[in-house]
Structures are given as structure tokens and as C-alpha cells.
């Protein structure tokens, strides 16, 4: 018999909607990495693991809701109450696993773009410490009492030797702290690069969205006081919802930073579709015979732009070529180019630019055309 309450129904709706939103972002992220920029990495696999754990968290919380999650003790028989608490605890342990994996995905992403050894050490420290704290806390849930059944069923003979609330508070606080560390580190990395101030702000803000996950983590930490509540399956519902929200926000923040190439691709395609509108008519151009003769010859020479893309990679594009758009980059690829330039040229100056300018002019000796090409290489 279903014992679902109105609070349980609300919890299910909120969590499953959040899980589906997370699925959309992860799919978009993987599509971008796999088919747009062709650069799938460990950070993508970790965020996928986080999403799978997110769905498991939702599934066990749903099972708890069908046993009475959100109800008071007086409204349930002891067996149903114990079952609801059991499923909720299993779901919480899965969530505690999922949160460190999602934050580790952010750190692994940053490891792909940082150069300084100390930055790499900091990121690895964030990954290792968060995973250890999360795993210890997730496993510690089931070591509170002996036998383990006594955790959710007080009628079982045994004893409890561990106050899980202290471990939970430490893990949640540490996780929130790591969010802010991962959000502040990109500012230190980006600000030392030779980029325009506006570009620095754009890249740094894009890499620092984890502050929102940190804010959710602070709220969740405050709500962990409900772990000592007498009405456990009722009073812990807000904490469960904020755990789900923190996980979603972390997944979104980890995915948004790599979706820019997909956005550029979609925008370019929409512009191409609008240009093919049968109801639009281009204005005709009727140059004189002399001008058309010169224009025909000039059209055979196209201006070239050479875009440096890292070690041993230079794209040459003409003004008519719209497919090699340098804006089709994410913060990751921008900073990766800077890292490769530093490695190749042994400098900290950042972006290396190569310009190719083709100048065509008409000489005075008849109809002869002469093409001159000038190049400039150097660091900006």
C-alpha cells in the first residue's frame, strides 16, 4: 500500500525535474566534447558518473516517499517508518558519493588548462581530499550502530557508537570550501595572462560559476542539524532537497563552461537558415564595365588571416570562409592555446598572433596587376 504524503510528492517532483535538467546539460556537454571540439576527457566521465548517482539518489528517495517520507511518527506504523528511513539513508549515502565526483569533474577540467605546478597541486588536493571526505562520510552512515539495522529500527537490539552529524557537518563544510577554492583559482590563473581585460572577466567568470554550488552547500550544511531530529523522515526533507539542488547546480556549472562551441554552432546554423529565407531578396549591384573588370581580377585574390592554434597548428582562412571561426572556442581551448604557446616559445606572455595581409593594386603600366604580401609575427 502506498503511504506517500503531499510532502513526498513535492520531493519527488522537484528531484526528478532537477535530475532531468542535469541530464540535458550532461548530454549537451558530452555532445560538444565528442562531436564539436573532439576532446572527451576524464572530467566528462566523472560528470556522467555524478549524473548516474543523481538518478539513483532520486530513485531511493522515491522509494522512501512511497513508504511515508515526509510523514510524522504518529501517522505511520513503526515498520513503515523504519522502511522510509532506510531508503532515505541509502539515498543520502549515494548523494554523498555524487557530490565529490561532480566537484572533482570541475577540478579535472581545470587541470586540463592550468600550467603552474602549484595550481596543479592545489587541484589534486581538492580532488583527493573531497573524495576521501565524501567516501568516508557515505560509508560512515552505516557504521553508526551495531547492528546496522538499528540505525533505522530502534526496536532492534544493539548499540550506537558514532554521531554521524559531526562527520556530516565536516564533509559538507569541506565540500563547500572546495567549491569556493575551485571558483577563485581561475581568477589567479587568468589574471596573469596577456589578454584584454574584458576577455579576462569573461573567461574567469565562466570558470567560477561554482560559487553558486558553494552557496547551496552552505545552506545544506545548515540544514544538516535535522539529522538529530526526532521526526527524522519529516524534518530531513529540506536537507534532501538542497542536496539535490547542490548536485544539480554543480553539474550545470561544470557543463556550462564547455558549451560555448555548441552555442556558436547553433547560432551560426540559425543565421544560415535565415539567409536562405525565400522571402528575402539581395539588392542588385550594377558596377560599370571598367569597375567590373577590375573587381573580377581583384576577386581572385582573397585576404588571408592566419590563426595560431597551438604547437604546429595554423589555420589560414579567407574572409569568405566562415567555418574557421576563432570564436568557436570555449574557455578551455582559449587557455590551452596560451599554455601551448608558453611551452613552445618559453615565455609567459600568452597569445602569439600571426597576421597575413595581401594587398592588391593596379600599376600604372597598363592593365598589369601586382600582388604584394606582407606578414607580421610576434607576441601581443
On whether both 227 and 313 belong to a single domain, the answer is no
The torsion of the CA quartet 57, 60, 66, 72, rounded to 10 degrees, works out to: -80
| Top-confidence residue, 244 or 318 | 244
pLDDT for residue 363? 47
Band of the pLDDT at 2, cuts 50, 70, 90? low
On whether both 148 and 53 belong to a single domain, the answer is yes
Q: Which set of grid coordinates corresponds to residue 350? A: 600568452
DSSP state of 152: T
Map residue 305 onto helix, strand or coil.
strand
Q: If you average pLDDT over residues 138-148, what whole number do you get?
A: 91
On whether both 304 and 178 belong to a single domain, the answer is no
Closest residue by Cα to residue 245 from 270, 216, 267, 281 = 216
Closest residue by Cα to residue 207 from 189, 186, 188, 221 = 186
Residues 6+ apart with CB under 8 A from 110: 119, 123, 182, 185, 186, 189, 207
On whether both 199 and 141 belong to a single domain, the answer is yes
Q: Is residue 270 part of a domain?
A: no
Q: Is residue 220 part of a domain?
A: yes
Measured distance CA(247)–CA(253) in Å, rounded: 10
* Residues 195-229: tens digit of each pLDDT: 788 877 877 888 888 899 999 999 999 998 888 88
pLDDT for residue 98? 94
Domain hosting 303: range is 289-379
Measured distance CA(322)–CA(368) in Å, rounded: 31
Q: If you average pLDDT over residues 21-33, what whole number do you get?
A: 95
Q: If you average pLDDT over residues 122-142, what whole number do you get?
A: 93
Distances (CA, A) of 101 to 78, 249, 250, 310: 35, 13, 10, 31
Q: If you average pLDDT over residues 287-296, what whole number do you get?
A: 48
Band of the pLDDT at 84, cuts 50, 70, 90? very high
Residues 6+ apart with CB under 8 A from 291: none
Structural domain count of the chain: 2
Residues 6+ apart with CB under 8 A from 276: none
On whether both 259 and 312 belong to a single domain, the answer is no
Measured distance CA(166)–CA(137) in Å, rounded: 10
Q: Is residue 273 part of a domain?
A: no
Q: Is residue 208 part of a domain?
A: yes
pLDDT for residue 203? 79
Q: Are 81 and 19 in contact (CB under 8 A)?
A: no
Phi-psi region of 215 (alpha: psi -120 to 50; beta: other; left: phi over 0): alpha
On whether both 24 and 171 belong to a single domain, the answer is yes
In the chain, which residue ranges form alpha helices assigned H by DSSP?
6-31, 42-66, 78-111, 117-140, 164-191, 197-206, 210-223, 232-235, 237-256, 260-275, 289-298, 331-345
CB atoms within 10 A of CB 340: 18
CATH number at residue 215: 1.20.1070
Q: If you average pLDDT over residues 313-332, what whole number do you get?
A: 44
Band of the pLDDT at 274, cuts 50, 70, 90? low
Q: Is residue 276 part of a domain?
A: no
Map residue 241 onto helix, strand or coil.
helix
Q: If you average pLDDT over residues 81-100, what whole number do you get?
A: 94
Q: Are 47 and 28 in contact (CB under 8 A)?
A: no
| Top-confidence residue, 352 or 141 | 141
Give the pairing of strands 159-160 and 352-362: unpaired
Distances (CA, A) of 312 to 307, 328, 344: 12, 19, 9
Percentage of the chain beyond pLDDT 90 is 45
* Residues 154-201: tens digit of each pLDDT: 889 999 888 888 889 999 999 999 999 999 988 888 877 777 888 778
* Residues 45-81: tens digit of each pLDDT: 999 999 999 999 999 999 999 999 999 998 899 999 9
The pLDDT mean for the chain works out to 78
Percentage of the chain beyond pLDDT 70 is 71
pLDDT for residue 31? 93
On whether both 151 and 13 belong to a single domain, the answer is yes
Residue 305 has pLDDT above 50, yes or no: no
| Top-confidence residue, 330 or 207 | 207
DSSP state of 303: -
Residue 322 has pLDDT above 60, yes or no: no
Q: Is residue 269 part of a domain?
A: no
| Top-confidence residue, 188 or 149 | 149
Q: Is residue 1 part of a domain?
A: no
Band of the pLDDT at 321, cuts 50, 70, 90? very low
On whether both 129 and 203 belong to a single domain, the answer is yes
Amino acid at each position: 500500500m502506498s503511504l506517500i504524503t503531499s510532502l513526498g510528492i513535492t520531493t519527488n517532483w522537484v528531484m526528478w525535474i532537477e535530475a532531468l535538467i542535469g541530464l540535458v546539460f550532461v548530454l549537451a556537454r558530452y555532445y560538444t566534447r565528442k562531436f564539436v571540439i573532439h576532446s572527451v576527457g576524464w572530467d566528462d566521465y566523472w560528470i556522467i558518473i555524478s549524473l548516474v548517482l543523481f538518478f539513483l539518489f532520486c530513485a531511493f528517495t522515491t522509494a522512501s516517499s512511497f513508504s511515508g517520507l515526509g510523514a510524522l511518527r504518529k501517522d505511520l506504523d513503526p515498520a513503515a517508518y523504519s522502511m522510509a528511513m532506510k531508503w532515505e539513508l541509502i539515498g543520502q549515502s549515494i548523494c554523498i558519493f555524487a557530490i565529490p565526483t561532480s566537484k572533482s569533474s570541475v577540478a579535472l577540467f581545470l587541470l586540463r588548462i592550468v600550467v603552474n605546478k602549484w595550481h596543479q597541486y592545489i587541484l589534486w588536493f581538492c580532488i583527493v581530499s573531497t573524495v576521501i571526505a565524501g567516501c568516508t562520510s557515505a560509508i560512515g552512515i552505516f557504521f553508526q550502530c551495531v547492528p546496522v539495522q538499528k540505525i533505522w529500527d530502534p526496536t532492534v537490539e544493539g548499540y550506537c557508537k558514532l554521531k554521524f552529524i559531526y562527520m556530516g557537518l565536516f564533509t559538507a563544510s569541506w565540500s563547500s570550501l572546495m567549491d569556493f577554492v575551485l571558483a577563485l583559482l581561475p581568477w589567479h590563473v587568468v589574471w596573469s595572462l596577456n589578454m584584454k581585460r574584458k576577455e579576462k572577466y569573461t573567461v574567469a567568470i565562466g570558470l567560477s560559476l561554482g560559487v553558486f554550488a558553494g552557496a547551496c552547500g552552505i545552506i545544506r550544511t545548515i540544514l544538516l542539524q535535522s539529522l538529530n531530529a526526532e521526526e527524522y523522515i519529516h524534518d530531513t526533507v529540506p536537507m534532501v532537497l538542497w542536496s539535490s539542488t547542490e548536485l544539480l547546480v554543480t553539474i550545470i556549472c561544470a557543463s556550462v563552461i564547455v558549451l560555448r562551441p555548441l552555442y556558436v554552432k547553433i547560432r551560426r546554423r540559425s543565421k544560415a537558415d535565415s539567409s536562405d529565407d525565400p522571402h528575402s531578396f539581395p539588392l542588385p549591384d550594377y558596377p560599370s564595365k571598367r569597375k567590373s573588370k577590375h573587381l573580377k581580377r581583384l576577386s581572385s585574390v582573397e585576404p588571408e588571416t592566419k590563426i595560431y592554434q597551438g604547437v604546429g597548428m595554423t589555420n589560414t582562412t579567407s574572409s569568405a570562409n566562415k567555418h574557421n571561426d576563432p570564436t568557436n572556442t570555449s574557455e578551455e581551448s582559449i587557455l590551452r592555446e596560451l599554455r601551448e604557446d608558453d611551452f613552445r616559445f618559453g615565455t609567459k606572455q600568452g597569445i602569439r598572433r600571426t597576421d597575413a595581409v595581401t594587398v592588391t593594386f593596379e600599376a600604372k603600366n597598363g592593365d598589369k596587376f601586382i600582388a604584394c604580401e606582407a606578414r607580421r609575427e610576434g607576441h601581443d
